[in-house]
């Protein structure tokens, strides 16, 4: 009955248009009332404690780094480098999008920020070259969601805090799956765009490639600083966020000189607004997480999933299908915050590696950003690219299927996640 109260109150609040953060609080109040434990002081205390987390400090700093990189010219130089490397091949602008998305994912960790930058920079070029606009928008959307998988990832930070899992290990484990997502999108692009009669840009000369590499070197150094620092314990993920923001600010203002001091206020306010949304969601979700534990919902979930507990693969398939369904109606952050405290005890009881589960769980939620009807990233592409939502939805289908294919490949071949993660972690 507690599960019914939990889901019923949450879905009912969302159905009447209550914002998700407030819906989570409504859900918490409903559970407290049902259990006869309603106390406004406990509600307020858990809300405050939910956002009082040192690892979560990484979120505003990585958000800020992403804002600075878009304004300060780092993102544009990454796209230019990808253009000189693969822009000349058949369907080259599509491969430019994918390469640029992978490189930018290693800089910011925000799917929406990366997608907005890629749409503004590449969609007009692809349409002008003769590529189908809907397909091009779908490709950009599917490439943008690589950001929550390749470190640094805001999704991994939130999952690590909610599930008490090492964020550094999640970062290292996400590298290979993120690259596999890029390969799958490239294959889908080759298949879907092979009949387009589009003349690719001319091949860049060696001098142009060298110039593009030289101009983007400062941007490319950032992922290595973050990963090497995490790998050798130089700094924590939170400190890595500070390093990323300070480094991006230095490069944008001193090296590239594309960001003026007068723009700092706008950049900081933009990052603060985005962070406030995420942190309020986290704070509200912690109330539900506490009540989920008090109501012993994880034990009820374990009992419900008992038929699958003997086979980790079957259990992972069942969980992935559940998250796919939820992802069509809910954004990534609230889904992670709501389901993590419910599913983690089930995963641990089945003997599944929490880091491996976290990578697939966040990957599934990232793909949920391009599944209609909610699809935050789809809305981003439609808004920035001035397209109809229906067009982007149709265009993203082949790429979304390819990414789900990679996810289920990892379900059946967990060593593709755990093997590289152990090797990178030493």
Reduce the secondary structure of 174-236 to three states and give it as a string: CHHHHHHHHHHHHHHHHHHHCCCCCCCCCCCCHHHHHHHHHHHHHHHHHHHHHHHHHHCCCCC
pLDDT band at 231 (very low <50, low <70, confident <90, very high): confident
Split at pLDDT 50, 70, 90, the class of 402 is very high
User: Has residue 230 got a pLDDT over 90?
Assistant: no
Dihedral sign of CA atoms 378, 383, 386, 390 in order? positive
How high is the pLDDT of residue 426?
A: 63
Contact 146, 369 (CB under 8 A): no
Q: Do 133 and 94 meet the contact criterion of CB atoms below 8 Å apart?
A: no
417 Cβ contact partners less than 8 Å away, ≥ 6 residues apart: 173, 176, 177, 355, 356, 359, 360, 410
CA–CA dist 156, 115 (Å, integer): 18
Cβ-based neighbours of 103, under 8 Å, separated by 6 or more: 78, 81, 82, 219, 220, 223
Q: Rounded to whole angstroms, how far apart are CA atoms 376 and 385?
A: 14
User: Quick check: 312 pLDDT over 80?
Assistant: yes
- What phi and psi values does residue 267 have, to the nearest 5 degrees? -65, -45
Tokens found for residue 148? 């929550």
Q: Which of 82, 175, 182, 75 is nearest to 119 (CA)?
A: 75
3-state secondary structure of 109: coil
- CA distances from residue 414 to 175, 177, 402, 419 in whole angstroms, order as listed: 14, 10, 18, 8
Q: Where is pLDDT greater, at 88 or 415? A: 415
Q: Whole-number mean pLDDT of the chain?
A: 84
Q: What is the DSSP string of 378-415?
A: HHHHHHHTT--HHHHHHHHHHHHHHHHHHHHHHHH-TH
Q: For the segment 26-71, what is each residue's pLDDT rounded down to a tens digit?
A: 877 887 777 777 777 777 777 777 677 777 788 888 888 888 887 8
Q: Which pLDDT does position 152 carry in this prediction?
A: 83
* DSSP structure class, residue 261: G
Helix pair angle (154-163, 58-71), 10° resolution: 180
Q: Is the confidence at residue 380, as pLDDT, over 90?
A: no
Higher per-residue pLDDT: 380 or 289: 380
Residue 351's SS3 state is coil
Q: Angle, nearest 10°, between helix axes 206-231 and 92-105?
A: 30
| CA distance readout (Å), 424 to 86, 149, 235, 323 | 28, 16, 16, 28
Q: Stretch 108-115: mean pLDDT, rounded?
A: 80
Half-sphere exposure of 207 (CA within 13 A, CB side): 0
Residue 396 confidence class, pLDDT cut points 50, 70, 90? very high
The pLDDT of residue 79: 84
**Residue 78 predicted with pLDDT over 80:** yes
| pLDDT-based confidence at residue 408 (cuts at 50, 70, 90) | very high
pLDDT at res. 387: 85
Count the Cβ atoms, other than its own, within 10 Å of residue 1.
9
Of 181, 213, 255, nearest to 82 (Cα)?
Answer: 213
pLDDT in tens, 154-190: 889 989 988 889 888 999 899 999 999 999 999 999 9
- The answer for residues whose C-beta is within 8 angstroms of residue 125's C-beta and 6 or more apart is 93
Winning range, highest mean pLDDT, from 81-85, 293-297, 345-349, 402-406: 402-406
Residues 22, 12: contact at Cβ < 8 Å? no
């Amino acid at each position: 009955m507690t599960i019914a109260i939990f889901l019923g109150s949450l879905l009912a609040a969302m159905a009447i248009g209550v914002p998700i953060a407030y819906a989570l609080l409504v859900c918490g109040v409903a559970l407290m009332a049902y259990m006869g434990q309603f106390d406004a002081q406990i509600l307020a205390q858990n809300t405050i404690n939910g956002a009082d987390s040192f690892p979560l400090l990484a979120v505003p700093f990585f958000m800020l780094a992403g804002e600075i990189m878009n304004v300060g010219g780092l993102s544009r130089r990454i796209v230019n480098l990808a253009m000189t490397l693969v822009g000349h091949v058949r369907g080259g602008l599509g491969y430019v999008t994918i390469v640029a998305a992978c490189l930018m994912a290693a800089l910011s960790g925000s799917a929406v920020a990366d997608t907005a930058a890629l749409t503004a920079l590449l969609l007009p070029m692809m349409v002008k070259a003769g590529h189908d606009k809907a397909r091009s928008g779908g490709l950009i959307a599917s490439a943008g969601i690589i950001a929550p998988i390749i470190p640094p990832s805001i999704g991994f930070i939130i999952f690590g805090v909610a599930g008490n899992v090492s964020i550094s290990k999640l970062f290292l484990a996400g590298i290979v799956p993120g690259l596999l997502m890029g390969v799958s999108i490239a294959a889908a692009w080759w298949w879907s765009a092979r009949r387009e009669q589009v003349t690719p840009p001319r091949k860049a000369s060696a001098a142009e490639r060298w110039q593009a590499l030289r101009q983007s070197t400062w941007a490319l150094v950032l992922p290595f600083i973050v990963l090497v620092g995490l790998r050798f314990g130089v700094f924590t993920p939170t400190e890595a966020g500070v390093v990323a923001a300070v480094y991006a600010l230095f490069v944008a203002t001193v090296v590239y000189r594309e960001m003026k001091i007068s723009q700092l206020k706008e950049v900081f306010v933009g990052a603060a607004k985005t962070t406030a949304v995420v942190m309020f969601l986290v704070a509200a979700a912690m109330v539900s997480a506490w009540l989920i534990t008090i109501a012993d919902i994880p034990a009820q979930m374990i009992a419900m999933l008992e038929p699958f507990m003997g086979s980790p693969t079957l259990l992972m398939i069942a969980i992935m299908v559940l998250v796919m369904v939820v992802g069509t109606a809910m954004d990534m952050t609230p889904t992670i915050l709501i389901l993590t405290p419910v599913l983690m005890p089930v995963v641990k009881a089945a003997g599944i590696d929490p880091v491996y589960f976290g990578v697939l769980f966040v990957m599934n939620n990232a793909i949920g950003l391009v599944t209609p009807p909610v699809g935050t990233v789809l809305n981003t592409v439609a808004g920035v690219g001035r397209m109809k939502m229906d067009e982007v939805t149709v265009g993203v289908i082949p790429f979304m299927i390819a990414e789900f294919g990679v996810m289920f490949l990892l379900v059946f071949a967990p060593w593709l996640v755990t093997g590289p993660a152990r090797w990178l972690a030493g």
